Structure 1
């Protein structure tokens, strides 16, 4: 399902078990976010006569960078934007960025937000919107925030993730959240066991089950929904977040 943003179209390509590759298009040019694999991206772009101009990488895991080098063989002039601190693990990056840096693509300003926790050098990409023009901001958040959940703490601490989620939580409530995995149903099934009387979580789970029964993805979500239904966003302390993350890691479903 394509989503409009200003004069862009943001399109999801579900791949592997639950990855979502996001492609945003303006005119005949495209930007790809976290290409796990290359073939469906190449086919999608070629079928629409689109030119890839850039790849945005949120972190180094193979299910996010696995398709990038094949894409560069087809579009060798494309830039690859990634965290400068992670150049050792994303060595093919051509534009290295740091926290709060601003880059420009397709006449659009994009702010880099450093969000360690899932990995040491994870970053998000934030496209500011306009309340006056009724344009929602957009956040490509990789594996830091999921709808109803957050990323596992592979390299960072609960405090790292808590601080990273605070950064996201403080964005405008109408921000559209483009996560890199379709985990919503499982996350909310876990959350409703933790908070069985929570009306917001129960209502959201019902909506999500309806979408999934029709074969539709649940993304993007938006920040106002996550503030109400995501227990990790709602956590008051890093200790609480750490306990929730540990419980979720061991939850069998």
Structure 2
């Protein structure tokens, strides 16, 4: 199986755009469609033709270009069944547990409610790729606009169960803010402290912090680590459940 080529770029104010390209078939998918022009520019730069959009959730900054791109390319849009009425141009509705084939690559759909009620992630297990959109960020997780802390914690546990070698692409360049918050929750984590310095250096050079590595997230992202004794002590929640610790971390990030 030929490796997929990936192009990462910025759209809107802080969205990541991602194109996946199979060099054998020529199939090209956009993970979400935040803005038409940056996607067209990335396609032109690479000489690719768009065949698919994989939509993770209904928020405007992830679907704004669906209709225009479908009109232009006659492409196929695959997205969450639970939000089907809110996804412009949706052709294929999928839900957690479903899988489909993109250019010979198996794609598994993971239900990850929390940020929105019907958010999904796309996992390419054989390629060790996860497109997490607004569920899991580098050193963060999505705000709970439509779900509860319990919803999001269950969703994050699904992603945490994936192999450490998984490469994670996420929806926004929020990493510097996330890093500065993370050290207030997990101040004794030496690997986190080192990572914060690396992130500050990247952003000072206007370089991307995506993609990330899931093993690194498991070791440094406080939203994946509510079972950690040091975090629990820092929060004064030594006897709380993981869900309660997660909820407190999310509440503090909302106020940070």
CA deviation after TM superposition for structure 1 residue 119, in Å: 0.6
1:210 aligns with 2:201: yes
In 1, Cα distance between equivalents of 2:3 and 2:119:
28
Q: State the distance in 1 between where 2:187 and 2:163 align.
A: 28
Alignment partners' CA distance in 2, 1:55 and 1:63: 14
Q: 1:28-49 CA deviation, whole Å, 9 max, x = no partner?
A: 3310001111111112213433
Gapped regions of structure 2 (runs ≥ 5): 228-241
1:37-186 correspondence to structure 2 within 5 Å: 37-76=35-74, 78-129=75-126, 137-186=128-177
Q: C-alpha offsets along residues 117-147 of structure 1, whole Å, 9 cap, x if unaligned?
A: 1110000000012xxxxxx510001100000
CA distance in 2, matches of 1:6, 1:189: 39
For 1:35, what is the secondary structure of its paired residue?
A: coil
Instruction: State how far apart, in whole Å, the 2-side matches of 1:68 and 1:13 are.
Output: 17
CA offset digits 1:143-185 (Å, max 9, x no partner): 0000000000111110111110000000001100000111111
Distance 1:190 1:47 in 2: 36
Which of the two has greater helix per residue? 2
Residue 13 (structure 2) aligns with: 17
Query: Out of 15, 22, 31, which is 1:33 matched to?
Result: 31
Specify the SS of the correspondent of 1:204: helix
Superposition TM-score, scaled by structure 1 size: 0.91
Contact 2:66–2:88 (CA<8 Å) still a contact in 1? no
Q: 1:51: how far off?
A: 1.4
Question: Are residues 6 and 235 of structure 1, via their aligned partners in 2, closer, same or farther at CA, if it must alter by over 3 Å?
Answer: farther
Deviation readout 1:31-78 (Å, 9 max, x if unpaired)? 0001111111112213433211110000000000011111111101x1
Measured on the aligned residues, the alpha-carbon RMSD in Å equals 1.4
User: Does structure 1 conserve the Cα–Cα contact (< 8 Å) formed by 2:7 and 2:42?
Assistant: no
Tell me if the contact between 2:70 and 2:89 (Cα under 8 Å) persists in the aligned partners. no
Distance 2:170 2:113 in 1: 15
Contact 2:175–2:199 (CA under 8 A) maintained in structure 1: yes
Check conservation: 2:7, 2:19, Cα contact below 8 A. Answer: yes
Query: Per the alignment, in what secondary structure is the counterpart of residue 166 of structure 1?
Result: helix
Match of 1:133 in 2: none
Aligned mates of 1:91, 1:51 — CA distance in 2: 20
Cα distance in 2 for partners of 1:49, 1:246 equals: 44
